[in-house]
Chains A and B, each alone.
Chain A
């Protein structure tokens, strides 16, 4: 699975949009981009995933660049409960399908 690079930490004001970048320049054609988050002392929570089109669900939006070498997770109106470590993972849909977690981005939402 391709490696990802994320900033170690970010701050965001409550109520504003949080934009979390992820670089995955070695992504292969059959690899999807997944985002999970982990609130302190809990298991990771699935947020969203996509292949090449932008995706949106009730939690977030995922913007993937045309060359698929990077993506941005957008939380449109961050709340204090969105404070967590956000993991960007690229994974093929075939094969072992293990999720390998990098160091992620620690997002702190500030009141």
Chain B
């Protein structure tokens, strides 16, 4: 299968600071990338969908000004958690697909801890 890489795999930051998470498709061009969040013992919750070159579409209840998504190229999307607070601590996972109707491949996830 295709490879999607996330960086960093884990990060600890202070409350009030911003954190950027990168998602790269290593061996294919991803027209669409998805960002998920997963709290302990819960399933993945879709946060937003981003298409290369256009604004991300956010799911209901997800603040677009807090979770900034940039999908500037066909191989890179970034999620920036701005002014992070302890309740933003979670496992953030991205996925990418080549195009409509193709299967999505997932990154290994980023564990964010806000202290």
Contact = CB atoms under 8 A, between A and B. Distances in A.
A43 B107 contact: yes
A44 B49 contact: no
A8 to B, nearest CB: 11
Nearest to A38: B44
A98 B59 CA distance: 11
Contacts of A7: none
Given A100-B46, A102-B43, A42 B109 contact: yes
* Residue of B4, B94, B105 contacting most chain A CB atoms (<10 Å): B105
Contacts of B1: 46
A43 B49 contact: no
Interface string B67-104: 00000000000000000000000010111010011011
Contacts of A95: 100
A45 interface: yes
Contact of A34 (B45, B46, B91, B103): B103
B52 to A, nearest CB: 15
B101 A98 contact: no
Contact of A46 (B32, B104, B111): B104
A45 B106 contact: yes
Contact of A42 (B45, B57, B97, B108): B108
5 contacts: A43-B94, A44-B93, A49-B103, A94-B100, A101-B36
